[in-house]
Amino acid sequence: MWHRLQIALIFFAPAVLIGGLYLLGLTIPVPALGRGYVIRVALPDPNRPIGLPSIAGPGDPSRPLVVIDAGHGGHDPGASGIDFREKALALGLARALRDELVRQGGVRVALTRSDDRFLALDERIEIARQIGADLFLSIHADSAGEKDDVTGASVYTLSTKASSEAAARVAARENNADSVNGVKLAGRSDAVTNILVDLAQRRTSEQSATFAGLIVREGEGVLKFHPDPRRSADFVVLRAPDVPSVLYESGFISNPADAARLPSPEGQQRFATVMARAIRIFFAREAGA
């Protein structure tokens, strides 16, 4: 009996205490730890107009235009290494490639971002499409976490399944309103629209694969590649239906050798030389096709 009373007291004491304080108009003081501030991340207004980048290189608009996309930026650092971040590494490589292409001439170049700013993934595609890009290259660097022996670059194109899903989505969005690869969709039936978008998408994915193959071919013996460098995945930035697009994972910042080489002036120049050559060969083939 006495134990039961003890248990009852233990259970009800807090309720009785709080109830009593409440009746007396009092409250228990609770420490305000962590309540005095709020962390806010400024996300871009989805309705803001996209700022279009300036185009470097020849003023002749008939010259091919490559859009180079440095991954991440702003509040999104990407993968983090010991001393640096993916967003800075990607921007360094993007600038080096732009400078190399401008130096060689003949090709127009634009960067989706030329400073440390945040861009949403679909904004990057939209920039490329709005300025009429003929080729889109997104630059990233990977991290394998604790596995610091994983090393080398990989070249990604959009996976086939993702490609057809993207085609369906674009078809739905652009139905009767726009054109894909110069083919006006206005006034056509859904079925015809789907076929046209599908054809455009197929041609684009062939071009993307060609460019990815050129990167690996031209980089052989110069750049350090992953043992299995050609890959495909559903990257949002590769979903433009009418712009050949490749995502280049330049290496692993979790690997000390990659992390030292990629941001160095020599590493940037080596990348820029190989990539500029792959881009020029791609455009030369397209012009001859």
Q: Which is nearer to Zn ion, 91 or 96 (CB)?
A: 91
Distance, CA of 29 to CA of 27 (rounded, Å): 6
Task: Give the count of beta carbons closer than 10 Å to the beta carbon of residue 221.
Answer: 8
Q: Which helix (H) or strand (E) holds 171?
A: helix 160-174
Distance, CA of 17 to CA of 15 (rounded, Å): 5
Binding of Zn ion by 267 (CB under 5 A): no
Cβ 286 to Zn ion shortest distance, Å: 27
Q: Of 262, 260, 257, 223, which Cα lies nearest the Cα of 148?
A: 257
Distance, CA of 30 to CA of 100 (rounded, Å): 62
Distance, CA of 5 to CA of 12 (rounded, Å): 10
Query: By CB under 5 A, which span of 69-77, 118-126, 131-139, 170-178 interacts with Zn ion?
Result: 69-77
**SS3 state of residue 165:** helix
Q: Which is nearer to Zn ion, 197 or 275 (CB)?
A: 275
Residue 253 sits at the vertex; the CA angle it makes with 247 and 259, to the nearest 5 degrees, is 115
Binding of Zn ion by 71 (CB under 5 A): yes
Q: Which is nearer to Zn ion, 77 or 106 (CB)?
A: 77
Query: By CB under 5 A, which span of 19-27, 66-74, 95-103, 214-222 interacts with Zn ion?
Result: 66-74
Cβ 134 to Zn ion shortest distance, Å: 23
Cβ 73 to Zn ion shortest distance, Å: 10
Task: Name the β-bridge partners of 247.
Answer: 138, 156
The burial class, CB within 10 Å (0-12 / 13-18 / 19+), for 198 is middle
Q: Which is nearer to Zn ion, 139 or 185 (CB)?
A: 139
The burial class, CB within 10 Å (0-12 / 13-18 / 19+), for 115 is exposed
Query: By CB under 5 A, which span of 39-47, 64-72, 180-188, 233-241 interacts with Zn ion?
Result: 64-72
Distance, CA of 132 to CA of 243 (rounded, Å): 9
Q: Which is nearer to Zn ion, 142 or 218 (CB)?
A: 142
Binder of Zn ion out of 140, 224, 239, 280 (CB under 5 A): 140
Binding mask 78-107 toward Zn ion (x if CB under 5 A, else -) reads x-----------------------------
Q: Which is nearer to Zn ion, 218 or 249 (CB)?
A: 249
Give, as ranges, the residues between 204 and 263 that touch Zn ion (CB under 5 A): none
Q: Which is nearer to Zn ion, 78 or 241 (CB)?
A: 78
Cβ 255 to Zn ion shortest distance, Å: 15
Query: By CB under 5 A, which span of 4-12, 68-76, 189-197, 199-207 interacts with Zn ion?
Result: 68-76
Summarize as ranges the residues that interact with Zn ion (CB under 5 A): 71, 78, 140
